[in-house]
């Protein structure tokens, strides 16, 4: 019954499992954060909710799956590799997943966004176009791959790496968290240190002035989608590596979570996406320990509303190009 479970949260479970819940939350959270980057970058540059980013992520999971098929790895005990081969397999999967997602993201921009941008359409129209693209991509994949879960082979053993206050930390969890962090640091450096990154920040700050200064907006927008897609692709690999399944509509729930994470951290803010993702993952895990897993999603959204009431632009505020009202 609702009343009893809400009046009596299970503090004991939270206390006993605290570190395990924390690591679990960070693992899920780092995947949210990677996908959130796709939303936050596009929002920062175009002020537009890239609703189809969830599908870009889903395509990335399939990219990784296809890569294992091409390498001749099928689900089963002999899929497990170690050392150099493991690194090679993961590298190929990563590149293929990124290529799939990056291509899809750029194609998406060309087909569903650019024509609207050229016509000066409202952002609402762009949102509907994105929703349409999202449905079409999902159905296309469902048409080609069916509507059931497909298994991703377990390519690495899930050994306990170390024990932390009684919580067993496994290699796969560490891999996901570290992998996501590396990708995000790379992106952050790219945006903040390189010439192309400067173009992105310039357009995010003031697209008209950027045009006057000789920045090619179309190229910047394409690059933004490409980077968002690459991040979503790497998230796709981490997702199938960790959860070991995917299907045509897997992006939906991750997409909503990632968008929530982006808003929570401050949409348009790269570091905000990281913080938002991790915080969201933690809240979900602690919340479901306290009140039961069936309340996981409502708790996450409730926290989002509460945070936005106190900080209306998210935890770190909006800023891809730095302070912008």
Partner 1 sequence: MNTLADLRGKVSGKIPQYNVRDAGARWWAGLPRWARVVLIAAVIGFFFVLPSLTIPLIDTPTPWASVLFSPIALYVLAALGLNIVVGYAGLLDLGYVAFYAIGAYTIAVLTSAHGSLSFWVALPFAVAAAMFAGLLLGTPTLRLRGDYLAIVTLGFGEIIRITANNIEWLGGPRGITNIPRPSDIGPLHFEGLNAKPYYYVGLTFIMLVILMVRAFERSRVGRAWTAIREDEDAAELMGVPTFKFKLWAFAMGAGIGGLSGALFASYQTVITPNNFTLQFSILFLAAVVLGGAGNIPGVILGAVLVAYLPERFRGLGGQRVFWYGVALVAMMVFRPQGIWPSRRRAAELADPEAGEVLAAVTEADVERIEEELEDVSLPAHELEGHHDG
Closest CB to partner 1 among residues 224, 234: 224
Interface pick for partner 1 out of 30, 54, 260, 269 (rule CB under 8 A): 260
Closest CB to partner 1 among residues 156, 308: 308
Q: How far is the CB of 64 from partner 1 (least distance, A)?
A: 24
> How far is it, in rounded angstroms, from Cα 179 to Cα 31?
10
> How far is it, in rounded angstroms, from Cα 298 to Cα 42?
26
Pattern 36-55, partner 1, x by CB under 8 A: -------x---x-x------
- Under rule CB under 8 A, which residues in 92-151 are in contact with partner 1? 111-112, 115-116, 119-122, 124-129, 131-140, 142-143
Q: How far is the CB of 253 from partner 1 (least distance, A)?
A: 10
Interface pick for partner 1 out of 7, 212, 309, 323 (rule CB under 8 A): 309
Q: How far is the CB of 263 from partner 1 (least distance, A)?
A: 5
Interface pick for partner 1 out of 267, 274, 275, 282 (rule CB under 8 A): 267
**Interaction between residue 72 and partner 1 (CB under 8 A):** no
Total residues at interface with partner 1 (CB under 8 A) = 49
DSSP H helical segments within the chain, as ranges?
2-7, 11-16, 18-46, 53-70, 83-108, 114-118, 123-145, 171-193, 195-205, 207-212, 217-243, 250-265, 270-291, 296-310
DSSP-assigned beta bridge partners for residue 246:
150
Closest CB to partner 1 among residues 166, 298: 298
* Sign of the alpha-carbon torsion through 40, 45, 51, 53: negative
**Interaction between residue 312 and partner 1 (CB under 8 A):** yes
Closest CB to partner 1 among residues 171, 211: 211
C-alpha distances (whole Å) from 21 to each of 34, 218, 254 are: 20, 43, 19
> How far is it, in rounded angstroms, from Cα 115 to Cα 158?
47
Exposed, middle or buried: residue 13 (CB in 10 Å: 0-12, 13-18, 19+)?
A: middle
Strands 150-151 and 245-246: antiparallel
Closest CB to partner 1 among residues 77, 309: 309
Closest CB to partner 1 among residues 232, 237: 232
Closest CB to partner 1 among residues 148, 294: 294
- Under rule CB under 8 A, which residues in 152-211 are in contact with partner 1? none
Exposed, middle or buried: residue 64 (CB in 10 Å: 0-12, 13-18, 19+)?
A: buried
Q: Which residues fall within 8 angstroms of residue 203, CB to CB, at 6 or more apart?
A: 45, 210, 215, 217, 220, 221, 321
Tally Cβ neighbours within 10 Å of residue 323. 8
Which residues contribute to the site for partner 1 (CB under 8 A)?
A: 1-2, 43, 47, 49, 111-112, 115-116, 119-122, 124-129, 131-140, 142-143, 256, 259-260, 263, 267, 294-295, 297-298, 300-302, 304-305, 308-309, 312-313
């Amino acid at each position: 019954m609702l009343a009893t479970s809400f009046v009596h949260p299970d503090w004991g479970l939270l206390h006993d499992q605290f570190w395990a819940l924390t690591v679990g939350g960070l693992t899920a959270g780092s995947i949210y954060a990677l996908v959130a980057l796709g939303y936050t970058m596009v929002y920062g540059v175009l002020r537009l909710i890239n609703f189809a980013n969830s599908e870009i992520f889903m395509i990335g999971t399939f990219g990784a799956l296809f890569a294992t098929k091409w390498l001749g790895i099928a689900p089963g005990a002999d899929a497990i590799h170690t050392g150099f081969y493991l690194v090679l397999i993961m590298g190929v999967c990563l590149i293929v997943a990124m290529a799939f997602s990056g291509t899809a993201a750029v194609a998406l921009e060309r087909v569903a966004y650019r024509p609207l941008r050229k016509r000066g359409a409202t952002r609402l129209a762009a949102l509907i176009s994105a929703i349409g693209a999202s449905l079409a991509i999902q159905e296309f994949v469902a048409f080609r791959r069916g509507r059931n879960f497909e298994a991703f082979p377990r390519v690495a053993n899930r050994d306990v790496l170390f024990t932390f206050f009684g919580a067993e930390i496994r290699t796969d969890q560490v891999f996901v968290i570290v992998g996501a962090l590396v990708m995000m640091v790379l992106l952050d450096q790219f945006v903040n240190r390189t010439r192309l990154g400067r173009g992105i920040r310039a357009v995010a700050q003031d697209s008209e002035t950027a045009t006057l200064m000789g920045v090619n907006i179309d190229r910047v927008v394409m690059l933004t989608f490409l980077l968002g897609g690459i991040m979503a692709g790497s998230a796709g690999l981490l997702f199938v590596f960790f959860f070991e399944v995917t299907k045509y509509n897997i992006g939906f729930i991750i997409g909503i979570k990632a968008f929530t994470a982006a808003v929570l951290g401050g949409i348009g803010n790269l570091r905000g996406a990281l913080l938002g993702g991790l915080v969201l993952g933690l809240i979900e895990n602690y919340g479901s320990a306290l009140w039961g897993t069936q309340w996981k999603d409502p708790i996450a959204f409730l926290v989002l509303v509460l945070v936005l009431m106190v900080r209306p632009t998210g935890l770190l505020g909006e800023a891809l190009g730095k302070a912008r009202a």
